[in-house]
Amino acid sequence: MSTELLVNVTPRETRIAMVENGVLQEIFLDRASCRGLVSNIYRGRVSRVLPGMQAAFVDIGLDRAAFLHASDISQPSKPPVPPPEDKTDFTCRDNRLEKEEAEERRPAPADIAELVHDGQELLVQVIKDPLGTKGARLTTQISLPSRYVVYMPYMNTVGVSQRIEDEAERQRLRNLARVFAHLDGDEAENPRGGFIIRTAAEGLSEWAVRADMEFLYKLWESLRHNANGHAAPHMVYEDLPLVMRTLRESVSTELERVRIDSAESYRRVSEFVERFMPELLPRVEHYVGERPIFEMYGIEDELQRALERKVPLKSGGHLVIDQTEAMTTIDVNTGAFVGRRNLEETIFKTNLEASQAIARQLRLRNLGGIIIIDFIDMCSEEHKRQVLRGLEKHLERDHTKSYISEVSSLGLVQMTRKRTRESLEHVLCESCPVCNGRGSVKTAETVCYEIFREIIREARQYEAEKLLVLASHTVVDRLLEDESANVAELESFIQVPIEIQVETLYGQEQYDVVLM
pLDDT tens column, 225-273: 888 888 888 999 888 888 888 888 775 557 889 999 999 999 999 998 8
- Is 101's pLDDT higher than 70? no
Angle, helices 484-494/473-480, rounded to nearest 10 degrees:
80
How high is the mean pLDDT of the chain?
85
The residue-averaged pLDDT of 68-82 equals: 65
> What tens digit of pLDDT does each residue of 172-231 get?
999 998 888 887 665 556 688 889 998 888 888 888 888 888 888 888 988 888 888 888
41-238: CATH superfamily: Nucleic acid-binding proteins (2.40.50.140)
Does the domain at 3-33+243-300 match CATH 3.30.420.60? Answer given as yes
Q: Are strands 41-50 and 23-31 parallel, antiparallel or unpaired?
A: unpaired
pLDDT at 83: 40
Q: Which residues of 148-161 are buried (b: 16+ CB within 10 A; e: fewer)?
A: bbbbbbbbbbbbbb
Other beta carbons within 10 Å of 231: 8
Task: For residue 69, give the nearest of 28, 124, 151 by alpha carbon.
Answer: 124
Q: Using CA atoms, how far apart are residues 125 and 38, in angstroms rounded to an integer?
A: 8
Any idea which architecture 444-515 has in CATH? 3-Layer(aba) Sandwich (3.40)
Q: Using CA atoms, how far apart are residues 9 and 286, in angstroms rounded to an integer?
A: 12
Other beta carbons within 10 Å of 31: 14
| Dihedral angle, C-alpha 192, 197, 200, 205, nearest 10 ° | 60
pLDDT at 99: 43
Q: Using CA atoms, how far apart are residues 303 and 428, in angstroms rounded to an integer?
A: 10
Tell me, yes or no, if the pTM score tops 0.95: no
